[in-house]
Amino acid sequence: MSTDSIADEIKFAYWVPNVSGGLVTSTIEQRTDWGYDYNIKLAQTAENNGFEYALSQVRYEASYGAEYQHESTSFSLALLLATQRLKVIAAVHPGLWHPAVLAKLGATADHLSKGRFAINVVSGWFKDEFTHLGEPWLEHDERYRRSGEFLEVIRKIWTEDNVDYRGDFYRIHDFTLKPKPLNTPERPNPELFQGGNSTAARNNGGRFADWYFSNGKDFDGVTEQIDDLRAVAQAHNRSVKFGLNGFIIARDTEKEARDTLREIVEKANRPAVEGFRDAVQQAGNSTGDKKGMWADSKFEDLVQYNDGFKTQLIGTPEQIAERIVAYKRLGVDLILGGFLHFQEEIEYFGEKVLPLVRELEASQTPAAVL
């Protein structure tokens, strides 16, 4: 399957399993490995099966079923160097990175990969990761205010000379980065993704990012976020694209897919999921309007720690393709997929699901005017 993108085709990303334990906190068999060799082969498989992006995860400490983790930016660079077309998004925490240091790393990574580096700014839910490192843990909306400055600063450093910036969190004095990252026909600088669902995340996405990444959501949940996000972007004379997480269980029959979901949840690692549930109270639930991540998640939802079951991409290739195209009609530009057995299932997705998505998209595109 070609990975050449046509402007109005929905795009696909996959979660890089650079953290042990797979994408579900369950003792079900997972033929997924967090190591280097597995991930290199997976990235190559993904770009040959219609995936345009890979998102690596950042976690610094053993926690909630993720005992081991490879660092996000360095691992992303390794994947970039082993692939030809895949764009790899590294997850980064403001508060642990200085934006200019990351801008420097990003410029080098972008040159080495010929313009395929991107970042996902994550504002944090895991208090221990900050306090164990002796860093202050800010209140939710303050974390996002810092992320907003971070996004502004890094874009400025990537695109302007003699940058001056006076923020509450960052101060830059007459700083010029050389070389800048590449300015390619596709984008002027490495793409900036903003992960998170809260009102603060929507504001940052609309004001500062190129992409907004949502946790798993049903149709109503997606519509509500897209409305808010677009309103913010329009108010700032901008546009922003929307990426949606979904855990994909595609099987030849719906029964097989549903049975797999049931087994994942039945075999949940309960203490790890419960511990995670406590820790993520620092995210959506700590805000006034409770629109953020995990605020309404049930135990079953949290077994996929980014609410990926809520997107319901579970069933036969036909059922999943139809649902993906329905999300696209609501304004989703990209699906971020997680899988149980990444290697086999990304191949299956590329072979069985993706061609159906493209067929449905083509049949729904208004006929070209001759």
Ligand X SMILES: Cc1cc2nc3c(=O)[nH]c(=O)nc-3n(C[C@H](O)[C@H](O)[C@H](O)COP(=O)(O)O)c2cc1C
Q: List interacting residues with ligand X (CB under 6 A).
A: 57-59, 91, 120, 122-126, 195-198, 201, 213-215, 245, 283-284, 292-293, 306, 336
Nearer to ligand X, 245 or 316 (CB): 245
- Shortest spacing between CB 285 and ligand X, in angstroms: 8
Nearer to ligand X, 48 or 120 (CB): 120
* Residues 6+ positions from 161 with CB-CB distance below 8 Å: 176
CB 147 within 8 A of CB 194: yes
Nearer to ligand X, 292 or 317 (CB): 292
- Shortest spacing between CB 173 and ligand X, in angstroms: 29
Nearer to ligand X, 217 or 323 (CB): 217
- Shortest spacing between CB 72 and ligand X, in angstroms: 7
Nearer to ligand X, 76 or 214 (CB): 214
- Shortest spacing between CB 60 and ligand X, in angstroms: 9
- Shortest spacing between CB 203 and ligand X, in angstroms: 10
Gap between the Cα atoms of 16 and 82, Å rounded: 14
Backbone conformation region of residue 286, classed left if phi is above 0, alpha if psi is from -120 to 50, else beta: alpha
- Shortest spacing between CB 57 and ligand X, in angstroms: 4
Nearer to ligand X, 290 or 329 (CB): 290
Nearer to ligand X, 13 or 182 (CB): 13
- Shortest spacing between CB 192 and ligand X, in angstroms: 13
Its sign, for the CA torsion 58, 62, 63, 68, is positive
